[in-house]
Structure 1
Amino acid sequence: MTGETTTDGRPRGSLTVRVIAMPADTNANGDIFGGWVLSRMDQAGGIASVERAKGRVVTIAIEAMTFIRPVKVGDVLEVYTDVEKVGRTSMKIHIEAWARRFMTHHHEKVTDANFTFVAIDEEGRPRPIPRDTVQA
């Protein structure tokens, strides 16, 4: 894992995306496709980074991910974001995906990673991230 959960075993960061895993999202083994989870994480990171950068951003890097547990049909995937570092034009956001299990509501971490986003202007060039923005 790239990051640590809180010391009390709860997710780190703010709940940013919450979605139910559906049968159409499964791989050949019947589990939810890892790319679907990754996509939800990228969406959550995009939401958090757009809010922080006050404008357009692009994903430029994802540090190694390890899938700890599978996501099953009916589970609610919850994605948490935590802005770790803000540079002049880029930011690192720690993103955790957790599954709230169908029927039992047991909450388990399924993966995490650090994503790097760059703020861009209308022409797609890097632009400075405002310094006076207060994180929510």
Structure 2
Amino acid sequence: MSRFGMYVKVTAKPGERDALVEILLEGEAAMQAMEECELYIVNVSDTESDAIWVTEVWNSPEAHRASLDHEDTKASIARAMPLIAGVESTTIRPVGGKGLRFRYPLRSLEKVLPPHKTGLPCKPTIRSKRS
């Protein structure tokens, strides 16, 4: 089963970024109770004063969708909406890296990435000893 992730850029209305960050961080407490949520990070931009980036990784797209039906999530969204000027999101499929435990060996990455992208040798290398 593939993981599901999102990068979400939330643009706050002018002067509302900090209040919106607080609401998003309150959501982190609910995420702790959801085993299916593997990563939930709220970031602020140093170059865009109203921008907030949220990084999420879930064990499946279904788990993410189900999280939106939780009462805590619905309440947080309702409180956040008046503070939001815009939202952009990109869905992602995490395949490796530091910070997440992956349940498959590195070699299985060949199924999702070409060999030159995995860092694995493309062909077996035979080295001979020279005398």
TM-score range, shorter chain: under 0.3
Q: State the TM-score, normalizing by the size of structure 1.
A: 0.24
More helix by share: 2
Normalised to the residue count of structure 2, the TM-score between the two structures is 0.25
Flag the structure with more relative contact order, 1 or 2, with Cα contacts below 8 A and sequence separation at least 6.
2
Which has a greater percent of strand? 1
Q: Which has the larger radius of gyration?
A: 2
